[in-house]
Structures are given as C-alpha cells and as structure tokens.
Amino acid sequence: MKPHLEMTEGNMAALEAFASTNDQPIVMVNLMQVRANAEYGDAARNDCSGYDAFARYTKGSSEVRQQAGAELIWSGRAIQMPIGPSEKTWDLVALVRYPSAEAYLKMTATKAYDAARAHRRAALYDSRLIMTIENA
C-alpha cells in the first residue's frame, strides 16, 4: 500500500469546498506510522529517530496551531488493532480540534507550518488524516 504524507490536490479542493460553506468545529483524527530513523531530504539531517523528528514537528508547529485555535484533545501510542488489516499498523494517534476547516486551512498555509511540515515528513512513513464533525 502506498504511503500517504501529503494532501492530494483533489482532497485539498474538497476540503476548501467544505470550508467555504461550513463553519462548525472539526476534529482531525491523525493516524501515524513512525519511521525508525528520520528521513530528511538532506541525509546529513538524518541524525535522529522518527520520534525525535516528530517532536521537532510538534514544537515547530505549536505556536501556529495555537494561533489557529487548535486544541489537542488526546494523543497516545497505538498498541493493538483488534479490527483492521494485520499488515497495517499505526504507532501514534492524535485528536486535534479546530474552530473550523477554514482555521485548519489558514494554519497549514503559513510559512511556520510549512517549515514544521518538513519534520513531519521526515518522521513518518505513513499517515491518515480523517476530518470529523460532531453528530447533529
């Protein structure tokens, strides 16, 4: 199965369309598979574990997430997947609430977030980002 680390153009367009007509809070469900060793574009930077690179991402994106009104609801390490394919495993799970999809989009468009994203790409082998809204 092909790894997914970035949003496709089609998924971005769908998210932008949703954001243009919906202003309710969203919760992003993050499923992450962490590399044993970070893989930056510059091999000289591959001096840390995937978890270390992810910590850099978290620190680097902290202020811009806070400015966007994001709130970490829960995060933890995945330990088992009783229902799901045995060949796919996740290491980290995080639930992050944003005031709206528009707030999320504005955050991801900042230079600060883009700089932090390099650490996320280096840290993760694969990921899924599931946007959710509360049941009516």
> Is residue 104 scored above 80 in pLDDT?
yes
Gap between the Cα atoms of 4 and 128, Å rounded: 7
Please tell me the pTM assigned to this model: 0.91
Question: Which tokens sit at 18?
Answer: 């949703």
Domain range for 64 is 23-132
Structural domain count, the chain? 1
Inside any domain, residue 6: no
| Whole-angstrom distance, CA of residue 28 vs CA of residue 133 | 9
pLDDT 10s digits, 37-91: 999 988 888 899 999 999 999 999 999 999 999 999 999 999 988 998 877 789 9
Domain containing residue 116: CATH number: 3.30.70.100
Residue 7 located in a structural domain: no
- Say how far apart CA 128 and CA 136 lie, in whole Å: 24
Q: Label residue 109 by pLDDT band (50, 70, 90).
A: very high
